Amino acid sequence: MNNLKKEYMTKVFDKYLNKDFIKKYSNEKTYKKAIFLDRDGVIIKDCHYIKDPSNVELEKNINKVIDLANNAGWLIIVVTNQSGISKGLLSWDDYHNINKRMLKLIGKPNPFAAIYANSLAENNEENAWRKPSPKMLFEAANDFSINLKDSIIVGDRFSDIECGANANLRLGIHVLTGHGRKERKSIIENMDINSYFKAKISNTKVKLIDDLRYFPTNIFNTNT
């Protein structure tokens, strides 16, 4: 067993909480809305188990989406599966270095209230952090008093949208970037005629867009 796999065996979940957001919202008792973002394929381009910070490149329009969410008072939270760690292809240090480069490229005070990640290739009874499990979303809801029923998720994989449905989010937005093109057919097959995600019993609607340039900006100020 190599050292990277040994590291995975001792740690399967990672949570970063932005102290500025913790301080700001620690005394608030009202429930907040959140936009959950997958990392690879949504915030940054998917480079297949990326570990070299020099390869980090932001997806188009992510800064505009971040600004819109911030201006509307929504929390922005990253939820990411990182199975490359359990496969011995990268380390937790590699993962953190990619995040540091991502934040540098965003080029503003850290806009993310939190970043949740797991290293699992598949879930088991003890560790069910991997999407489509909603456990990372539930963890965030507990950390920040989030109203999940009014929140949304953006992802390029079927598991992202299913995760949102498992948490009964209001909306799941599927993009074609990252793995989106090969996953789109499965998404469509699991939408009913009213665009609800029918693979789970939930009230989660699905919105299909090409990339973040077509992000439905009205969701931050309406209930539609």
For residue 38, give the CATH number of its domain: 3.40.50.1000
Q: Contact 90/151 with Cβ under 8 angstroms?
A: no
Is the model's pLDDT at 108 over the cut of 50? yes
Mean pLDDT of 150-159: 98
Least confidently predicted of 45-49, 58-62, 69-73, 124-128: 124-128
Measured at the alpha carbon of residue 18, what is the angle toward residues 16 and 24, in degrees to the nearest 5?
145
Which one of 14, 38, 94, 160 is the catalytic residue? 38
- Which of the four pLDDT bands, split at 50, 70 and 90, describes residue 79? very high
Contacts for 190-196 with beta carbons within 8 Å, 24 or more apart? 190/158, 190/161
**40 flagged as catalytic:** yes
Instruction: Decide: pTM greater than 0.85.
Output: yes
Reply yes or no on whether the pLDDT at 26 is more than 90: no
Q: Give burial (CB, 10 Å; 0-12/13-18/19+) of 134.
A: buried
Given the residues 14, 40, 46, 143, select the one marked as catalytic.
Answer: 40
Dihedral angle sign, alpha carbons of residues 44, 47, 48, 53 = negative
CB 102 within 8 A of CB 65: no
Least confident of 15-19, 33-37, 201-205, 215-219: 201-205
Q: Which amino acid is at 9?
A: M
Q: How high is the pLDDT of residue 199?
A: 74
Cβ neighbours, 10 Å, residue 32 = 17
Query: Starting from the edge strand earliest in sequence, which strands make up the sheet with 75-81, in order?
Result: 13-17, 114-118, 75-81, 34-37, 152-155, 171-174, 205-208
Examine the pLDDT at 164 and tell me if it is beyond 90: yes
How many domains are there within the chain? 1
C-alpha to C-alpha distance for 9 and 187, rounded to whole angstroms: 33
Q: Which domain holds residue 134?
A: 3-220
pLDDT at 212: 98
Does residue 67 have an active-site annotation? no
What average pLDDT does the structure give for the chain? 93
Q: What's the pLDDT at 224?
A: 43
Chain-centre distance for alpha carbon 91: 20
Residue among 176, 188, 219, 184 nearest 35 (CA)? 219
pLDDT of residue 177: 98
Share of the chain above pLDDT 90, in %: 85
pLDDT tens readout for residues 195-212: 999 977 789 999 999 999
End-to-end CA distance of the chain: 51
